[in-house]
Chains A and B, each alone.
Chain A
Amino acid sequence: MQMRTWMVVGGLSFGVSALPAPTIAQDTGTQPVLHVGLRAVKSDGSRGRDAAWETINKPGETFSAWVHAGRVGTADEQLCVMRAAGRGGTLTEVDKRGLDTALHAWKFSHTLVSHEGGRQVVDFDWQRFDRGSPTPAASGKQRLTLGEGQTQFLDLVHGRSGPPCDTVAVAFEVTAKTREDPALADTVLRYDLWLVRQDRSGRKERRHVILSALQGTAPEFHFPPLHAEVPKLQPDQYDFRVATRVGGSIRGRLTRDGRVVLELETYRSDVLEQPASRPPSRPGRGGSGRKVLTAAIGEAIEVQLPPAGGYSSTFATAKAEGERAAPPAGSPLSREPVTVKNGRIEVSYGPFFEGERLSIILQVRKPDGTPDDGVALPVVAAAGR
């Protein structure tokens, strides 16, 4: 554990000192960090210790290093011994001895292609060598697009577990992280989000949620569903409605000129459901998206969601349900909003929501008591005034 900690911190500190701080668009003062290494998997499935490199990267620069696990010739050849080695492709004598006796060793290199709103595009190249063999047992070369906090699994090896080592496998993976600007890291942001639906007649319906979170974190939001009644086309038809659910996450970061960079990830889901009975048996139709925006503190921005599409179909009546009515062959998407055919009701969301305008209106503020002028100060400092 001591060694792992030293290696991770050493890797990070080396990266900080060796590389000039990259200039990131929208100057939030953040820096892209790539975490590459091994993660132990215990026999109960939980996460064990790890050995990894964390580097602050600059577009166009390549970083190369090694990680290895297990030792040949030890009792049971277990995987508990893990180590990071060879930063920049240069191996020390200790590194060489470790790699020569490693059960599994991964050599990797990565180049940051771009970084925007916490998302990194990375060219990643790796090879695994088993038992000191000069020939790779596995390899990969790919361009990865990683969202902030996202982990990409790359390789897995199994081992023998038993006292004192409970590691049954080791995963080789990469995670995109972001290093916050220390001057802004403690800033708290308040998000007001409204979901507004205007139907074709101009009638508006809305929902409102309020979030408060440290900048750089991405709190989730979920609006209470909007409901639209489904007309009855036959007397014994169940009562149906369409529930539209919208949610997602929002991540805000102050810029040095006092504005806010917002990363909005959201989804829309339309579900045909019976309000009086069971929950919907099928997942809803919809989509999801991600948008990066820059706003002033207190500025309201409307983000329109695309028109609904797809359809939902289920039994229209108790009788049809008892007979397990099958969907009509082919079941082409109807141009009618609601149809009942062969005992099944089908809601085609395009026509059903025709003329609808569904938007999220968002506004970011600093909580009361936080100064609004110029560069934001950490809340801790503001409280001391």
Chain B
Amino acid sequence: MNMTYTEILSALVDGESVDPAAVAAALEDAGARAALVDFVRLRNAARADAAPLPASLDRLRAAGPPRRVLRWAAAAAALVLTFMAGLLTAVSWRPDARDPAAPPQPARVERFEPGVDWHPSN
């Protein structure tokens, strides 16, 4: 199975226009066939749960991007969120994110004063 077959079959289930030859090629792949069955199951489940939208909002569905795109965007967002969460978790576990060789922030500053407590050597 490859991602192209999955996309073709996903588009087919969504009712979009697809190349029949591409569908035929995709169905040759056992993994793609299994994915197609999953898509159909998912679609049936979504139909059963979905309440009909009011007529006033029906146009919103039509105006939005195709749901396939939304699904990929959601997956991408989930990946990004997972990555960010991992990053933040790693930072919080780090014992000292600073440069270990860097000096600490001084609490106060003292100065040698020439002629008082500092004298030229030659």
Q: Which stretch in A26-34, A41-49, A302-310, A317-325 binds the other chain?
A: A302-310
Q: In the complex, which residues of chain A have a beta carbon less than 8 angstroms from the beta carbon of B106?
A: 300-302, 361
The yes or no answer to A194 lying at the interface (CB within 8 A) is yes
User: B83-118: which residues lie under 8 A (CB-CB) from chain A?
Assistant: 101-114, 117-118
Expressed in whole angstroms, the minimum distance between the Cβ of A135 and any Cβ of chain B is 40
Q: In the complex, which residues of chain B have a beta carbon less than 8 angstroms from the beta carbon of A384?
A: none
Q: A301-B107, A303-B111, A304-B112 are in contact. Are A208 and B120 (CB under 8 A)?
A: no
When the two chains form their complex, are residues A269 and B107 in contact, meaning their CB atoms are under 8 A apart? no
Q: In the complex, which residues of chain B have a beta carbon less than 8 angstroms from the beta carbon of A293?
A: 110
When the two chains form their complex, are residues A300 and B104 in contact, meaning their CB atoms are under 8 A apart? yes
Q: In the complex, which residues of chain A have a beta carbon less than 8 angstroms from the beta carbon of B110?
A: 291, 293, 301-304
Q: A300-B103, A300-B105 are in contact. Are A285 and B117 (CB under 8 A)?
A: no
Complexed CA–CA distance, A192 and B103 (Å): 9
The yes or no answer to B121 lying at the interface (CB within 8 A) is yes
Expressed in whole angstroms, the minimum distance between the Cβ of B31 and any Cβ of chain A is 57
When the two chains form their complex, are residues B103 and A304 in contact, meaning their CB atoms are under 8 A apart? no
The yes or no answer to A299 lying at the interface (CB within 8 A) is yes
| The one of A208, A285, A361 that contacts B122, using a Cβ cutoff of 8 Å | A285
A residues touching B (Cβ–Cβ < 8 Å)? 192, 194, 196, 206, 208, 267, 269, 283, 285-291, 293, 299-306, 309-310, 359, 361, 363
Expressed in whole angstroms, the minimum distance between the Cβ of A29 and any Cβ of chain B is 24
Q: What 5 A-B pairs have minimum CB-CB distances, sorted nearest first? A: A289-B118, A302-B106, A194-B103, A300-B104, A361-B103
When the two chains form their complex, are residues B109 and A291 in contact, meaning their CB atoms are under 8 A apart? no
Sample of 16 A–B contacts (CB below 8 Å)? A206-B103, A208-B101, A285-B120, A286-B121, A287-B118, A288-B118, A291-B110, A301-B106, A301-B109, A302-B109, A304-B110, A305-B118, A306-B113, A309-B120, A310-B120, A361-B104
Residue of B whose beta carbon sits closest to that of A292: B117
Residue of A whose beta carbon sits closest to that of B106: A302
Complexed CA–CA distance, A285 and B122 (Å): 7
Residue of B whose beta carbon sits closest to that of A287: B120
Complexed CA–CA distance, A291 and B120 (Å): 15
Complexed CA–CA distance, A286 and B120 (Å): 6
Complexed CA–CA distance, A208 and B118 (Å): 23
The yes or no answer to B119 lying at the interface (CB within 8 A) is yes
Complexed CA–CA distance, A286 and B122 (Å): 7
| The one of B102, B108, B121 that contacts A269, using a Cβ cutoff of 8 Å | B121
Q: A293-B110, A303-B112 are in contact. Are A283 and B122 (CB under 8 A)?
A: yes
Q: In the complex, which residues of chain B have a beta carbon less than 8 angstroms from the beta carbon of A288?
A: 118-119, 121
Residue of A whose beta carbon sits closest to that of B109: A302
Please give 5 more A-B residue pairs, beta carbons under 8 A apart, in addition to A269-B121, A290-B117. Answer: A206-B101, A206-B102, A301-B109, A305-B118, A309-B120
Q: Say whether chain B's binding surface is mostly helix, strand, loop, or mixed.
A: loop
Expressed in whole angstroms, the minimum distance between the Cβ of A348 and any Cβ of chain B is 15
Expressed in whole angstroms, the minimum distance between the Cβ of B58 and any Cβ of chain A is 62
Q: Say whether chain A's binding surface is mostly helix, strand, loop, or mixed.
A: strand
Complexed CA–CA distance, A286 and B121 (Å): 6
Complexed CA–CA distance, A304 and B104 (Å): 15
Q: In the complex, which residues of chain B have a beta carbon less than 8 angstroms from the beta carbon of A267?
A: 121
Q: In the complex, which residues of chain B have a beta carbon less than 8 angstroms from the beta carbon of A301?
A: 106-110
Expressed in whole angstroms, the minimum distance between the Cβ of A258 and any Cβ of chain B is 16
Residue of B whose beta carbon sits closest to that of A286: B121
Complexed CA–CA distance, A363 and B107 (Å): 10
When the two chains form their complex, are residues A304 and B109 in contact, meaning their CB atoms are under 8 A apart? yes
Q: In the complex, which residues of chain B have a beta carbon less than 8 angstroms from the beta carbon of A309?
A: 120
Q: In the complex, which residues of chain A have a beta carbon less than 8 angstroms from the beta carbon of B111?
A: 303-304, 306
Complexed CA–CA distance, A291 and B117 (Å): 7
When the two chains form their complex, are residues B112 and A291 in contact, meaning their CB atoms are under 8 A apart? yes
Residue of A whose beta carbon sits closest to that of B113: A306
Complexed CA–CA distance, A165 and B30 (Å): 109
Q: In the complex, which residues of chain A have a beta carbon less than 8 angstroms from the beta carbon of B109?
A: 301-304, 359
Complexed CA–CA distance, A196 and B104 (Å): 12
Complexed CA–CA distance, A267 and B104 (Å): 22
Q: A306-B113, A306-B114 are in contact. Are A208 and B103 (CB under 8 A)?
A: yes
| The one of A194, A285, A305, A361 that contacts B112, using a Cβ cutoff of 8 Å | A305
Q: In the complex, which residues of chain A have a beta carbon less than 8 angstroms from the beta carbon of B102?
A: 206
Expressed in whole angstroms, the minimum distance between the Cβ of B107 and any Cβ of chain A is 5
Q: In the complex, which residues of chain A have a beta carbon less than 8 angstroms from the beta carbon of B105?
A: 300
Q: In the complex, which residues of chain B have a beta carbon less than 8 angstroms from the beta carbon of A305?
A: 112, 118
Q: In the complex, which residues of chain B have a beta carbon less than 8 angstroms from the beta carbon of A299?
A: 107
Expressed in whole angstroms, the minimum distance between the Cβ of A353 and any Cβ of chain B is 14
